[in-house]
Each structure stands twice: as structure tokens, then as C-alpha cells.
Chains A and B, each alone.
Chain A
Amino acid sequence: MGHMKLQINGEIRGISAVSNVRELLKVLGISESQVAVEINGTIIRRADWESTQIADLDKVEIVQFVGGG
């Protein structure tokens, strides 16, 4: 299986090649519930996680809820 490089949350990371958002979360060990994902500045709706392709050098943001006021 190949590898790919992504910029995830501001950090360049090499990971096993993935083809879509759902696979990316799995490879990163991130629970699917209660996160939001943005690829190259576009928010990817949950329903589109499987159909949205990930390419080498994509800029990925993954956010979740933390304590706040």
C-alpha cells in the first residue's frame, strides 16, 4: 500500500494512502462522531465523506468541540 503526504491541521504528515475522508479519519484514529472536516478550504458534509476524494498534498482541517464559554 502506498503512502501520501497531507497537511493536516497545519502539520505535514505522511500517512498510508487513503482515497476518501472516511478512510482518512480511520487511518488517523479519529472517531467519526462530532468532528467536522474541511479539505482545501471547503467544508465536507458528513454525507459526502465517502464520495470526497483525498489527493496528495491536500490541506485538511479536522475540528471538534472543546471546552469554551
Chain B
Amino acid sequence: MSKLAILVGTACNFRCKHCSIAHLPPRALSRSEEASLRALLSKKKFESVLFVGGEPTLYIDKINRVLAGLPKSSETKIYITTNGYFAKSRDAALKTLTSFHGLDAVQLSFDKYHQAFTDTKKVEILRQACLELGLKFSVLMSIQSPLDLTILKKLKNPDKLDICVQGVQLLGAASDNCLEYEYPSFDKRVLTRSCPNVDAIVYICGEGFSTCCTQLVFKKDNRSFVHKTIKQHMASKFYKMLHTNTFRDLLRKSGISQSSLPPRCSHPCNLCSYILDFQTRNKMFA
């Protein structure tokens, strides 16, 4: 695994309708977790480390204490995913971004859900600030339908933005509000795929490490999917299952018929969750 993502804390100053972690209790990296992650970064070389929340800029001190573990000659890229609330002015944006030790890139969450709490002007302010600091900048949009992309027309210089899109997944606040990316039919190309996150490991504050970054890791009983150390996770049935099977393999081993799959299983995370739920119900996975 070459990529590490750290959910540093759940606090956020936005209350987006689609937030995937809105259901989690308030928590953040403890001092002991910070020390463990600092030690991990000093020993293991990652291609990138991404800090997410909640809102990671509310945890800059914690993040910098973790990053203190990186060797001075480290080539590890440091990324954050932020709601960009702090970009009230050029100076304010520069002040926050330069508070991080060795930041390389900023991913701004901006879509119709975030727009309820922010100003489109902040997108341009943040883009300019990143440009000034030599940081990569991209916009991440969560959508329920392609029509949600029309919000891009409200932005200044949308043609200059690196835009990535993700479908809203049915968990957290999105589940409460019945929001999910809608597929017109099932796309069987997903069957030849395996977990898209197999090259990465996620650390969830207060929980532990997992390959899964969405649906399974946030289940109430996630003991089979999250582990206190990377070593324990790599020894788990879950890790081995994800790393050695395509979804077609998993369906076959579970005895699930492809014809029974709903359109939403076109998304690998929905399909994975569907299979694991089936296996758990039928006591095939423990």
C-alpha cells in the first residue's frame, strides 16, 4: 500500500446534507494515536498522505504533530480535503495553507451541498492562493445526478479547474436524507473490478486501519473491517478477500446471482457492501 489517508477528526463547521460521517460521534486523534501515526510515518514510506475530516483545517496542530514523523528528505506528498471555509480573503487563505508543514495539494469539496454553507468566491480565492504557493488544487464535487454539475457555471474560471466528481453514497446524512447517486441500470463492468482502494490504507480516528474508506468502515459493528494496526489488518480475512478477488469472484463464492443486482451496485463500494451484507446475514463472513 502506497497511500495513507487519515480521518483526523469529525468536527466540521458545515452541516452538509450528504455528509458521510455526520452520524459519527464527535472525536479526533488522541495524543497516543498521533504518536503511533508519527512513528508509522517515520518508518514506512508512503507515496502520499491525505488528511480529511470533518474539516482538517480545524486540526492543523494535530496534523503537524503527525507530520513531524516524516524524515526530512521525505518525498511523501501531503494532501488535504477541505471545505475551504477559511478562504475569506487571499491573506486568510495563505495563512491557513502555510500553517501546514509541507503541504503539496488541496482538494476543495464544492457542490450543491457545500454551497449551502459557503460562497462561490472562495473557490477562486483558494485556487489563486494555491497557485501562489505552488500547490496542486482540485475541486471535488459530490453529485446525485449529472445535472448537479450545472453549479459549475456559477464559478469564476471553471475551465481552469481540475474537477473530480463522486457519486453521493447512501451513508451518514445522505442516508438520512435519502440522497444517492442514481444509476439508470446495472453496469456489469464493475464485476471485473476489485476494490478501488486496495493500494491505500485509511486510518479512522478512534477506530483504526482499514482498506475500506466508506460503507463498511462506518458500520456500527465494523470489527471485521477495521483493525488497530496495519499488520492486524493485513492478516484479516477482509483484507485478503479484497486483495485476491474481483467482485465477480466474490459473487460466485457467495452464491449471489448477477441478475439480482440492483442498478446501485454499478458502484464498486455499493456492490462490495451488498456482498458483505449478504455474507454476514448468511454467516459466511465473520
The answer to whether A and B belong to the same complex is no
Q: Which residues on A are within 8 Å of B, measured CB to CB?
A: none
